[in-house]
Amino acid sequence: MKVFCGRANPTTGSVEWLEEDEHYDYHQEIARSSYADMLHDKDRNIKYYQGIRAAVSRVKNRGQKAIVLDIGTGTGLLSMMAVTAGADFCYAIEVFKPMADAAVKIVKKNGFSDKIKVINKHSTEVTVGPDGDMPCRANILVTELFDTELIGEGALPSYEHAHRHLVQENCEAVPHRATVYAQLVESRRMWSWNKLFPVRVQTSLGEQVIIPPSELERCPGAPSVYDIQLNQVSPTDFTVLSDVLPMFSVDFSKQVSSSAAFYSRQFEPLASGQAQVVLSWWDIEMDPEGKIKCTMAPFWAHSDPKGLQWRDHWMQCVYFLPQEEPIVQGTTHCLVAHHDDYCVWYSLQKTSPEENGRVHQLRPVCDCQAHLLWNRPRFGEINDQDRTDQYAQALRTVLTPDSVCLCVSDGSLLSMLAYFLGAEQVFTIESSAASHKLMKKIFKANHLENKINIIEKRPELLTTADLEGKKVSLLLGEPFFTTSLLPWHNLYFWYVRTAVDQHLKPGAVVMPQAASLHAMVVEFRDLWRIRSPCGDCEGFDVHIMDDMIKSALDFRESKEAEPHPLWEYPCRSLSEPQRLLTFDFRQPVPQQPVCAEGSMELRRPGRSHGIVLWMEYHLTPDSTVSTGLLEPVEDKGNCCWNPHCKQAVYFLSPTLDPRVPLLGSPRAVTYTVEFHPNTGDITMEFKLTDIPD
């Protein structure tokens, strides 16, 4: 049996469904999971172990047998903790079959098969009774069902069902309680991830300003949370407007409701400003007394900032208010947290909803198209005035009064820059209905609906009639396409350039004129943990999980790079940046593969965790835009990454194992990289080696 999996195709700019081996989706889910990260989360593991010991002890002190229900057992770690703590029996629920199979093996390897039963079902399908999965209800409920938003993985419905059908009334629960906190801030940087700002263009006639349509101004934005490593956001990037407010708590030892609800908290602003963004996180208390606590608080709200536990499976939340609102110090406001069974969102009100008779608000949904087309980093990229200025300056050097421009990028403002800077005629291709609708709104708001021609079709279907009989003298692209996942997927621009070759004038200018793929060997401060084997976790052997993840990562014939926003994940450069491949957009896509081999010398001491790869676009001979490094690497190797793009990371397996000693010096990383024109993909292999002679 085969399965179909979506993969970005750089030759078509589309996500296509490819036939894969029947085990492909399993392997992908395991390979990209957070299991390794969770096993390395020592703070989490210790707190769970302490909480489980305390819960088992409380039940035993009442003279009862300790029967544990572990929902979402994963590796079986929490179940093994429970049995080690004295539990009489544990029912470990795991819906994902490969993981359930691994849990059975791990439980057996550690000698707990007689005390732990792994049940491969969703918890809502588990039966209780003489012939059921469990003979009786459990009196201890252990779970790890949480995501960054706390409830986003269906924790509330799972708890609601468990209390009704699987556990005794007033059972012991680990964790016992969760509390969600929020802090209101003003932040131009974070607000730029949600709204389109006016964009300024200096022209020969003075400054032109591209203004957002009123629909974008009024739109409440995307309803989903933006989860990030908030500790990597500089305190200078936001102004705190409120204290940290405890918004709501969930007591997991009692009946839980998944019904929609809201909670309001009155506060007096700490400063006057524009209320724009809510920063949010949660903590879990493992015991009723609240003495065993695991918190996601960022450093400025943490009781021990120097003792922060790095983790990627739980981060912090950024929520955007539907509209920015002025608040004045000395007045009283209400911050309201709303939630349904899976999502949380916030609103700001003058009085509490209870006082004014309001009921629970529906979850806000984007109605302007922009938040459906542009993700949060893309909003930030478009709002980056320095970046706009760089494109405008490059355009000035290639535009002439008789330029006929064709712009090819999804939802780009480049066509407007070309028009304002003096192009005679401007066309823009918007292949999707969403981008076509959005750009029409933006052009209309700026009185350009009759000045820039939108062509809603795929570039390869372009006709002379679409261009009103004109030949294109300037082909433009950022390039940016919404289907791109890895940096080189935007090479779709090269395929577009090839497809429209017949519509280009002889000697037509292409901007960017070329692109190059760059790479650098790095040592991550923390990101290595997500791919590092654990071996032993709190005294339990989890090598089977390590082997399972490794097998999943090795499932494909060639190792793949992964996209990561490296501004959130600090690293040190161990080698100099190196150009691997160059792509000349002034020529059509070649028929034969483009290959490169070489080595990168390691110039700084450290553990070589992986290779970072990124693209640089050469707009003109004198102007280059980088999707990776923005500044030269510092003496100590610290890196400054483009915050609007994800870079690609190729992890080097041996150096991810903390048990493997650092290799001697000097060393190098050799590489073989190949661009395949028929697929638009890049295959690569990197190996640690001695420096070649």
Q: What are phi and psi of 88, to 5 degrees?
A: -80, -35
What is the Cα–Cα distance from 91 to 100, expressed in whole angstroms?
Answer: 12
- The verdict on whether 468 is a catalytic residue reads no
Question: Using CA of residue 642, residue 643, residue 648, residue 654, what is the dihedral sign?
Answer: positive
**For the purposes of burial, counting CB atoms within 10 Å of the CB of 683, is it exposed (0-12), middle (13-18) or buried (19 or more)?**
middle
Give the tokens for residue 196. 């389109």
Please count the residues of the chain: 693
**E strand segments, 144-267:** 167-174, 177-186, 199-203, 206-210, 226-228, 239-240, 245-251, 261-267
As a whole number of angstroms, the longest Cα–Cα distance in the chain is: 90
Give the tokens for residue 263. 């909670």
DSSP assignment of 14-80, as one string? Answer: EEEEEEEETTHHHHHHHHTSSHHHHHT-HHHHHHHHHHHHHHHHHHHHTT---EEEEES-TTTHHHH
**For the purposes of burial, counting CB atoms within 10 Å of the CB of 81, is it exposed (0-12), middle (13-18) or buried (19 or more)?**
buried
Half-sphere exposure (Cβ direction) of 551: Cα atoms closer than 13 Å = 12
* Amino acid identity for residue 3 in this structure: V
Other Cβ atoms closer than 10 A to 341: 14
Question: Which neighbouring-strand residues pair with 599?
Answer: 670
What is the Cα–Cα distance from 226 to 3, expressed in whole angstroms?
Answer: 30
- The verdict on whether 381 is a catalytic residue reads no
The string over 474-486, giving b where at least 16 C-beta atoms fall within 10 Å of a residue's C-beta and e elsewhere, is bbbbbbbbbbbeb
**For the purposes of burial, counting CB atoms within 10 Å of the CB of 65, is it exposed (0-12), middle (13-18) or buried (19 or more)?**
exposed
Out of 29, 125, 144, 215, the active site residue is 144
Q: Are 575 and 691 in contact (CB under 8 A)?
A: no
Helix 97-109 to helix 77-84 angle (10° resolution) is 30
Distances (CA, A) of 666 to 325, 659, 663: 57, 21, 9
Closest CA to 605 of 651, 654, 650, 665: 665
* Amino acid identity for residue 579 in this structure: R
The pairing of strands 177-186 and 245-251 is antiparallel
Give the tokens for residue 572. 């040190």
DSSP assignment of 77-114, as one string? Answer: HHHHHHHHTT-SEEEEE--SHHHHHHHHHHHHHTT-TT
Half-sphere exposure (Cβ direction) of 646: Cα atoms closer than 13 Å = 16
Q: What are phi and psi of 437, to 5 degrees?
A: -65, -40
Question: Using CA of residue 82, residue 84, residue 89, residue 90, what is the dihedral sign?
Answer: positive
Catalytic center residues: 144, 153
